[in-house]
Structure 1
């Protein structure tokens, strides 16, 4: 059965839509952003003040050297304040130098404050909040979303792509605002010194704008493809770790290394192409800004020689402004590069945040504490998007306390049928009712608290055994946990462990056997004391003797509870009040064991095969016992 293609494979968000979302997100942190930008404005002002004082000092030195013997050169004013009368030239120069030094110290402190503020805002607030929002969304999405999207894709978006929004604020928004303000101030300042010199020096600026536009359009598809390659590499890594036992069992380590190296090399080769474009763009920008400096030295030098421009407060200050102007222009490469990366990554994050929550409580959903457990399927059908129906015309009714066993081949729809009861998926046709109410009208949290589940492959968390059993009931006492473990025939092996119930399990509980993991999962379901139990072939990984022990214990837990159990062993099927047999998403037979055996249908064929296997096994044992 094919699953629907990934809903995250393609985005409907345009670049402008993504930028709009990013600005709205930024507005949520406007206080911190304004603080950061204000700091940069102060830094810009202090830098320009230091540059002006440098030019002032140079002009004072030049005028002093050109003055005749006994001629007194008036001391310049610093920020409109006159220096004390009678100061010697050396004192004036040291005074100007002292103010420049104080400004430098102030800029160093503010730079420190700026970096602290930026990192606190972006790393500790925005990234943490956003990652939490994405994780919260993932917790509320239906199983259909996880069926359609790979683990590697989701992990990459939650970890790496979230940083793209940080990049947008730091390297795009902040830098763009700082660049715009700085360039505007520099142009105004240069125009006040010499409009003609400014126009001559900035003649190459339109070429820089055209070059930046070309670079932006050329790199966007490359960055999008790079994200896909990285995602594939992460998925391959995740699968390799999860399937390490299979890899080693079949001796496929070398092949896996080759696959990963190929994926890693593909990322490298593709990134190399991006870096090649960047390596062309940055020198081109640098060359054009150096052309501006050549114009300054030739034309500006001529203006100084003609007496139309002072050396210090004119040419030297202009040179400093042009140097800083060129530095901001050089940042265009970084900003344009960051724009593409942040847009691609941000779009991928927004795709998760915008993903439709298909299964959720209705606005007027009914709250309740306890269900009776009457379950009725009325002409229920279910299909994944874009594929053939998985379930068709399911009609089934259980009264509270009844137990139904479900038999069928792989792909018959057994697990999907049970997944509809806790609303892992919503039915696509018909109705599913519990206690006479459509489950879509019940509050989702209350519904699931009344349902205990044991999956075919039970997942345990890297926590203590007690915490795993109490996962659905965190406030349970140790006595309640131990009672549930006894019901699941798990208490004996748990207490034999060095730390007992406080034993910390490895990842996915891999330090326990399959049967032990399953019994802890059964205890986890039983602890809820649910009205409905869903057991998806819970004894598949357990030997016959342990199965007998578990079902003897479960009989007490099942009593009074509606129970659905997927099973294939006759010993389990016979315990049910009635049995349904499924084929291709339909119920083809139903009845008790005796009724289905008499019907001579699919159930009888399965039962006879098990009886034949049991006789052969018994016969083999008897032959082996003979001398």
Structure 2
């Protein structure tokens, strides 16, 4: 299975822990064999009142007389002068053996858990790194809750299944082989009959396995749906409560959890049947052996009573690793279903790639002259073209307004500059250099971005302003806050710049949150500012204050702003008018009002 080979790449760095697991597994196997073998001496001592040590064979040790040698030496370990003393020694020996056997098992389980958590941590780190480096189009057709579920629940299921299975695969096959060797040394005829357990249970497990894998994958998808539903309800909790949607959201969540419950219970019914079925088949085979061989033993044929008791003890002991291996196969199928979801997302290719030019693209040569040359963009087949054949040049220091109805292409135009998307056709040049030839991180540091969706993190005020620039000085942070007119209200907070803003900056008003976002955009003194409806979610008075701030901080910089507010536009501002993804007009605001009828209609709507 390819996913298991891939998982081995995560196991290799844990070779020391794996070696420890293997050694602990060997100790467990050896002690298990001793414990089960000695159990026959205990039974003999208990029911006959004595343990008789058979004589050593005259022939040298070989597979065919292994039983005689083991029976002799095991009896010598427990025999003392009195029957009661022999019984006590047999019990003590069994207790000690089982104690160290379980200690070895504990060591193996602890090492297995350590490996599981190490791999889960590494896998989650790689998963999140891959997601955060994806382009925005990747997230258009995926629910955030489903992505979160894959990174948490699916990786947990994957690692729990494989880590536990890995430990059993190191331990149980060796245990089964040891018990088979001991059984063969007692009676190869009865052992061959008992081996019928393996193919029968194997057929049962294989029949169940493929269905179990499908059910596991569907169950994990349902977990993602539950996570998405809850995430959506909590994110929009104000709207939910404002419009009395609590009952509706509870009902929708319950419907989603019902779907998950039905899928999960179906998977568990199928998975849980494997172990009982394997054990049932094993017991049926053992019962048949008892029926056939028991009579022969009672008649003094085939085996002596002591060897037959020892054979039965070992045969029941063989059921444990065989049943466990059946559970391993079921767990691997569950893990494989989770692995497909995780690895499919981790293997999703990037559509934004760095193609660094060999020429000089250093920051010291950066020139904020922007050129769009025959740019076309489509997000996917369903949404059609976002931009079509856009040609425009923006000189350094210009203030450019992007106007048009919702969905006309304004935000797409802005998002292409920092390479959140790459054009399907055409090229974008900044300072005469194609943006695909610039390092992405370096390119984006030349843009200060303020969007209509205010994004603050659960961090301090200073941490939010310095986001992306962790080495920024407190002086630089406060200077940016003063430019954004945020310094005054920040000092009124309980701990000033060290105040934790809570989830999504919930402790601040809308205007305050936007001023923090503006300060963040100004921290690095970028030459180009991109404003995407920065005041659309604010009240009129607050919006005017923010717009005044934006004007002041934009002096000397290249500014591109998408807005629906007529008050934000000056007569001399250059306006790019978009409609249906096309650039239909490019003139000063005052000229556009006189010459462009569609713009006048739009302006009237903006003013109202």
TM-score, reference length from structure 2 = 0.90
Aligned-residue CA RMSD (Å): 2.8
User: Which stretch shows the higher mean deviation, 239-248 or 303-312?
Assistant: 303-312
Q: Relative to 1, partners in 2 of residues 1:57 and 1:249: Cα closer, same or farther, differing over 3 Å?
A: closer
1:417 lines up with 2:413 in the alignment? yes
Tell me the SS of whatever aligns to 1:148: coil
Tell me whether 1:574 sits opposite 2:570 in the alignment: yes
**1:586 alignment partner in structure 2:** 582
Give 1:81 deviation, angstroms. Answer: 9.5
| Aligned twin of 1:504 | 500
Contact map agreement 1:83 1:92 (CA 8 A) in 2? no
Is the counterpart of residue 379 in structure 1 residue 374 in structure 2?
A: yes
Aligned residues: 591
Task: Name the stretch that deviates more: 350-359 or 175-184.
Answer: 175-184
Paired residue for 1:467? 463
Separation of aligned partners in 2, 1:207 and 1:153: 39
> For the Cα contact (< 8 Å) 2:33–2:178, is it kept in 1?
no
Establish whether residue 318 from structure 1 lines up as the match of residue 311 from structure 2.
Answer: yes
2:258 aligned with 1:265: yes
Distance 2:575 2:375 in 1: 18
Residues 1:399 and 1:82: Cα distance change in structure 2 (over 3 Å): same
Which of 2, 6, 14 is matched with 1:29 structurally?
14
Any idea what SS the aligned residue of 1:432 has? strand
- Whole-angstrom CA distance in 2 between matches of 1:80 and 1:190: 17
Instruction: Sort the Cα spacing of 1:503 and 1:158 in 2 relative to 1 into closer, same or farther, 3 A.
Output: same
In structure 2, the CA distance between the partners of 1:319 and 1:575, relative to structure 1 (3 Å rule), is: farther
What's 2:60 paired with?
Answer: none
Q: 1:578 to 1:386 in 2, by over 3 A?
A: same
Give 1:202-241 correspondences, 5 Å limit: 202-241=195-234
Structure 1: distance between partners of 2:221 and 2:74: 61
**What is the distance in 1 between the residues matched to 2:244 and 2:173?**
59
The structural deviation recorded for 1:260 is: 1.3
1:174-253 to 2 correspondence within 5 Å?
174-253=167-246
2:126 to 123, 128, 133: 133
- The answer to whether the 8 Å contact 1:361/1:441 transfers is yes
Cα 1:576–1:470 change in 2 (3 A) is: farther
Secondary structure of the 2:426 match is strand
Contact 1:581 1:602 in 2 (8 A): no
Q: How does 1:599-610 map to 2 (within 5 A)?
A: 599-609=595-605
Deviation at 1:566, TM superposition (A): 0.8
Unaligned runs of 5+ residues in structure 2 are 57-68
Distance in 1 of aligned mates of 2:74 and 2:241: 80
Gaps of 5+ in 1: 1-15, 614-627
1:534 to 530, 541, 558: 530
Cα deviation, residue 31, structure 1: 3.5
Which shows bigger deviation, 572-581 or 500-509? 572-581
Query: Matches of 1:355 and 1:345 in 2, distance apart?
Result: 16
Residues 307-332 of structure 1, C-alpha deviations (whole Å, 9 max, x = no match): 532433x2232222211221223224
Kept in 2, the 8 Å contact 1:22–1:165? The answer is: no
1:48 aligned residue (33, 47, 52): 33
Partner of 2:346: 353
Aligned mates of 1:79, 1:427 — CA distance in 2: 83
| Counterpart-to-counterpart distance in 1, 2:604 and 2:234 | 41
Q: Mean Cα displacement is larger for which, 269-278 or 439-448?
A: 269-278
1:48, distance to aligned residue in structure 2 (A): 0.3
Instruction: Specify the alignment match of 2:330 in structure 1.
Output: 337
Q: 265-274 or 255-264: which moved more?
A: 265-274
Q: Distance in 2 between matches of 1:149 and 1:84?
A: 67
Alignment check: 8 A CA contact 1:197 1:299 kept: no
Q: Distance in 1 between matches of 2:573 and 2:248?
A: 51
Equivalent residue, structure 2, for 1:619: none
Structure 2 CA distance for aligned equivalents of residues 479 and 204 of structure 1: 76
Q: Is the Cα–Cα contact under 8 Å of residues 78 and 86 in structure 2 kept in the other structure?
A: no
1:437 aligns with 2:433: yes
- Quote the Cα distance in structure 1 between the aligned partners of 2:328 and 2:18: 18
Report if aligned partners of 1:536, 1:565 keep a CA contact under 8 Å in 2.
yes
Does the aligned pair in 1 maintain the 2:274–2:330 contact within 8 Å? no
**Corresponding residue number in structure 2 for 1:308:** 302
Q: Tell whether 2:488 aligns with 1:495.
A: no
Q: 1:55 deviation in Å? A: 2.8
- 1:229/1:35 CA distance change after superposition, 3 Å: same
Q: Give TM-score, length-normalised by structure 1.
A: 0.87
Is residue 420 of structure 2 the alignment partner of residue 427 of structure 1? no
Contact 1:581 1:588 in 2 (8 A): yes
User: How many angstroms does 1:379 deviate by?
Assistant: 0.7
Q: Does 1:101 align with 2:86?
A: no
Aligned residue for 1:29, secondary structure, equals: helix
Structure 1 residues 85 and 275: alpha-carbon distance in aligned structure 2, compared to 1, 3 A threshold:
closer
1:368 corresponding residue in structure 2: 362
Distance 1:257 1:555 in 2: 45
* Alpha-carbon shift at residue 150 of structure 1 (Å): 0.7
